[in-house]
Structure 1
C-alpha cells in the first residue's frame, strides 16, 4: 500500500497497524516513494542452557594441531 504524506499524517496509527500485520506500507512525497514503514524486530528472550546435551566438543578442540589446521585452511 502507498500513502501520501497528508494521508500518513492523519492515518498514522492505522498505517502502523497494517505494517505490523505484515503489509508493505510506503509513504510517498510528491507521488514518489520516500519511506517504508516496517515493524521493529523484538529481541527474543534467551534461554540459558537451551542446547545442553546437544553440542559436544572433542578433547582436542583447542590443541595446537587443530589451530594450525584451521589457520592453514584460511591461509594464515
Structure 2
C-alpha cells in the first residue's frame, strides 16, 4: 500500500498508474491524513457465461403461460 499526499499524486499520476495496474493500492492523504483510497478494478470476465446454469433448480408450471385474469390485466393496463 502506498501513501501519497494529493500534490505528489497529481504531479506523478502516470508513475502511480503502473503500480495500480499491478494490484497495489494507493491511499491519498491531505496533509498526511488519509482521505481516500484508489485501488485497481477487478479484471473483466472474458469467458462467455454457459447456458443452462440453473437447469433443474426450479420448474415453471403450465399456469405461467396462461393469460392473466381480466381484473388483473386491467390493473396493469389502467
TM-score w.r.t. length of structure 2: 0.56
Matched with 1:20 is 21
Q: Give unpaired runs (5+ residues) of structure 1.
A: 65-76
Larger radius of gyration: 2
Q: Secondary structure in 2 aligned to 1:28?
A: strand
Q: Give unpaired runs (5+ residues) of structure 2.
A: 62-78
Aligned length: 60
Matched with 1:4 is 5
Matched with 1:62 is 59
TM-score w.r.t. length of structure 1: 0.57
